[in-house]
Amino acid sequence: MKLRAGLRGSRRAERWFFGSMAVLIPLTVFIGFDLLTMGRIHRATVWGGLVILISQPLRLAISGTDAWLSFAHWAVALVA
């Protein structure tokens, strides 16, 4: 399996947008569930949501580095 060194231009913007949506949609559902069942947002939802939202830019920054790609090649080789 060949991995690319990173995305550039609009592809990176698309990845950021769809990655954000993949996080925001479930988080919105969790918040809605908390509000319907408890009338407030649970502490775990707040902290978990913050951790995920804050970690997203870090994950995007790391995803194109040589160290990450080396690790990814190693991990793929384990299951291939």
Which pTM was predicted? 0.60
What pLDDT digit, counting tens, does each position of 33-56 carry?
Answer: 999 999 999 999 999 999 988 888
Percent of the residues in the chain that have a pLDDT greater than 90, as a whole number? 49
How is the chain split into domains, by residue range?
A: 10-79
Confidence of residue 60 (pLDDT cuts 50, 70, 90): confident
Q: Could you give the C-alpha distances from 74 to 2, 5, 46, 50, 70, in angstroms and in order?
A: 12, 15, 35, 30, 6
* Higher pLDDT among residues 70 and 21, named by residue: 70
Q: Could you give the C-alpha distances from 51 to 4, 5, 55, 56, in angstroms and in order?
A: 27, 26, 6, 9
Confidence of residue 21 (pLDDT cuts 50, 70, 90): confident
